[in-house]
Structure 1
Amino acid sequence: MEWTHRPYRDEKDFLALLAFLSDCNAAAPTAGYIQPGDLGWWLGQNEVLNPPDCVEIFEDSVGRVLGFVFSDPPTWAVIQASPGSSDALLDDMLTHSRARAGDPELTVWTFEGDASLIAALKRHSFIRTDKRTVQFEYRSAQQGLPELPKLPVGFSFTAISDSSQLKTARVKLHRAVWHPSQVTASAYEHLRASPAYDLELDVALVGSDGQLVAYALGWIDPKTRTGVMEPVGTHPDHRGQGLGRMVVQEVNRRLAERGAERIIIRTPESNVGACRLYASAGFQNIGYIYDYSR
């Protein structure tokens, strides 16, 4: 098979990549493909990232997507290729990633179940490091519909509607959680315009004083009946009170009600607090995503 590769262009490419990821996850659910919602968040979260600079699409002679590379910054990459892709295609994707990095210390984020990519990395002298990300999953089909969280008196959940005041507060909360953050009001509007976004899954916990104290953003892929939460956070002034777990439970419940049978959350293994939070919300550790470097 012959192929070419080119930079990401426009919204048409975004829709094609969403469909590609959905198809890959349906065909090989244990191989560790990222979810369509992951891509929605990665490309929509700020105004600094320019998709044509960090997404390279590999396609066949009729324009069918065979895979893509997401690299931001250039020295870090996620490689997604169709199930059963040839060694030659994976080698070409790695060669592109190395050339973009312009540095021998390229790191590739790789799920332990992606045997083909791991073999390609070894061919290119990459070595698995000790740094890894935990993938947690909630299986609603087996574990049942998550229960309604029991909130403190005066607290409530809100979906982020088109209220300018609410959207401003949501951006402010995100920036406080992830300081320093590049998320801005206009970037958040861009994110909300994504076809993958559902405002009813963009949920914040409102404190008794009316301030937003924690939030989680859910994404769902109807084809694979899989949900993902990204990002998740609690305001630094309100941590250690179980509020993050409550909002995770609520978004988990909403995803399950929309038909998600698997709900995914990921966090670095070094983030012990987040690992405990997700486990306390009923999520189970189902594997790791490793950093491979050379």
Structure 2
Amino acid sequence: MTLLESYTSDQTAQVQRALSAWFPAGTHPGGFGWESATDQLPSAVCVARDGQGRVVGWAGLADGEGRIECGPDDASSAAVLADWLVENAGGTKVSVPVYHARPLVRGALTARGFTDDANAGAIAGLVHPAGDVDVDVPDGYRIRAMDPDEDAARVQAHRRAWKPARMPYPEEIRSGIDPEDESRFTEQAFSVMKRTWLYDRELDLVIEAPDRSLAGCCTVWFDPETGWAEIEPLGIVPDHRRHGLATALALETCRLVAARGGHTVFINSAPLPYYPAPWETYLRAGFSPLDRGTHLTTGTA
């Protein structure tokens, strides 16, 4: 028996622990924690539980984008979550990522009228083995864990790195961005994030610039139960870009994860035509593409 309930932030750790058992055929538990802390989950989210009250799946829907995740052999949850998605979509067009290792989710969706969406692109990602790699940090810069009393500076570094108008988008994208727009990351969001399962201040990395300011930041979510770590997010302050700092942070992550017994670092990125910089940067750093699945779609536009 699968029972559904509305998602609340109090359930975040329970969902994360379920996701830990399913990764890499799904969202990394650290990535889910980041989405929850920063209000980036879909606007409508439900959680599936079995008869013993254990989280066995979840689904979300917002602006024509759906998500369904459950265990690989859980036909009941796949069907119930697919029904929830169809009902909440109300006949509108919905695109859903389906991982290769989740044929039951694919089957549940196709039985309800979903078909392959050739225009949506693959579910991608990037991976790098954890290990003692060479990390080339430019002269005068230093990678370290953030200090306990550095919250405000850490948040401001993120906000400067992710200010929409200063992102390295192509000109046709940047020209449509309001210069006054700001990152959604706040001290309140950071406070929530720090209480999330898998958050570790020693793996919340910053780059200290020659003038002692913070030139960039990178949160590493390491799951010791699986050995997988996810980088989410990583950003470089605009004045310090093009010095190889993003590459240095990513490779330092590989070293730190290996030291903790992990085996792989994952980045939830895709080769987006409107934002090619991250994908290209991590490929140059030695990360390899990961083909995770495809998209299914249904409904009318």
Q: In which range does the TM-score fall when normalised by the shorter chain?
A: 0.7 to 0.9
Among candidates 92, 95, 99, match of residue 80 of structure 2: 92
The corresponding residue for 1:77 is 66
Q: Secondary structure at the match of 2:234?
A: strand
The corresponding residue for 2:155 is 171
Shift of 1:244: 0.7
Q: Is the aligned partner of 1:62 residue 2:52?
A: yes
The corresponding residue for 1:15 is 13
Q: Secondary structure at the match of 1:209?
A: coil
Asked whether the 8 Å contact 1:228–1:263 carries over to 2, the reply is: yes
CA distance in structure 1 between the aligned counterparts of 2:160 and 2:82, rounded to whole angstroms: 36
Shift of 1:44: 1.0
Distance 1:16 1:215, change over 3 A: same
RMSD (Å), alpha carbons: 2.3
Asked whether the 8 Å contact 1:154–1:207 carries over to 2, the reply is: yes
Among candidates 32, 43, 48, match of residue 39 of structure 1: 32
The corresponding residue for 1:116 is 104
Among candidates 262, 266, 272, match of residue 276 of structure 2: 272
Distance 1:60 1:215, change over 3 A: same
The corresponding residue for 1:152 is 138
Asked whether the 8 Å contact 2:230–2:266 carries over to 1, the reply is: yes
1:133-144 superposed matches below 5 A: 133-140=123-130, 144=131
Report which stretch shifted further, 190-199 or 174-183: 174-183
The corresponding residue for 2:233 is 231
Shift of 1:9: 4.0
Task: Kindly provide the CA deviation profile for residues 142-172 of structure 1, in whole angstroms up to 9, marking residues without a partner as x.
Answer: xx4223x222221111312221xx3222212
Shift of 1:248: 1.1
Q: Secondary structure at the match of 1:250?
A: helix
Q: Is the aligned partner of 1:281 residue 2:285?
A: yes
Asked whether the 8 Å contact 1:133–1:269 carries over to 2, the reply is: no
CA distance in structure 2 between the aligned counterparts of 1:5 and 1:101, rounded to whole angstroms: 16
Shift of 1:273: 2.0
Shift of 1:74: 5.3
Asked whether the 8 Å contact 2:2–2:80 carries over to 1, the reply is: no
Structure 1 stretches of at least 4 aligned residues deviating more than 4 Å after TM superposition:
none
The corresponding residue for 2:5 is 6
Shift of 1:205: 1.1
CA distance in structure 2 between the aligned counterparts of 1:261 and 1:254, rounded to whole angstroms: 11
Structure 1 unaligned residues grouped into runs of 5+: none
Letter in structure 2 aligned against 1:91: A
CA distance in structure 1 between the aligned counterparts of 2:204 and 2:87, rounded to whole angstroms: 37
Distance 1:97 1:242, change over 3 A: same
Shift of 1:278: 1.2
Distance 1:208 1:75, change over 3 A: same
Q: Secondary structure at the match of 1:130?
A: coil
